[in-house]
Amino acid sequence: MKKFKVLLSQTAVNELENLPIADKSRIKLHLKELEDNPFRPRPKADIKKLSGFSKPDLYRLRIGNWRIIYVISENEVRVTEIMQRNKGYSWLE
């Protein structure tokens, strides 16, 4: 099976660095799992293609109160945003 390379934007890196240690560890674990399959939802990690966006398609990985927004390009997963649930998606418009 094809492995994906997970790349974080500078914004995502900054957001990840500022998280509490427990949340940071949990998110890193789920980001690592994206290498195997960035499309398949799994326990405690709900993946959904965001509607209303095209080229590139945006995906959302839900981990508790955290949301990871990413794009899949060939064999790369590009994480653009790590945010809390209450931030919402209005910034994407």
CATH number at residue 66: 3.30.2310.20
Q: Which tens digit of pLDDT belongs to each residue from 52-93?
A: 766 788 999 999 889 999 999 989 999 999 998 777 655 554
Q: How far apart are CA 36 and CA 3, in angstroms?
A: 5
Tokens at 67, concatenated:
């949301």
Residue 92 belongs to a domain: no
- Cβ(68)–Cβ(86) below 8 Å: no
Residue 38 belongs to a domain: yes
Residue 93 belongs to a domain: no
End-to-end alpha-carbon separation of the chain, Å?
35
Q: Which tens digit of pLDDT belongs to each residue from 14-39?
A: 999 999 999 999 999 999 999 998 98
Q: Three-state SS string across 17-54, please?
A: HCCCHHHHHHHHHHHHHCCCCCCCCECCEEEEECCCCC
- Give the range of the structural domain holding residue 13, as residue numbers without chain letter: 5-87
For residue 78, the surrounding DSSP H or E stretch is strand 76-84
Q: What's the structural domain count of the chain?
A: 1
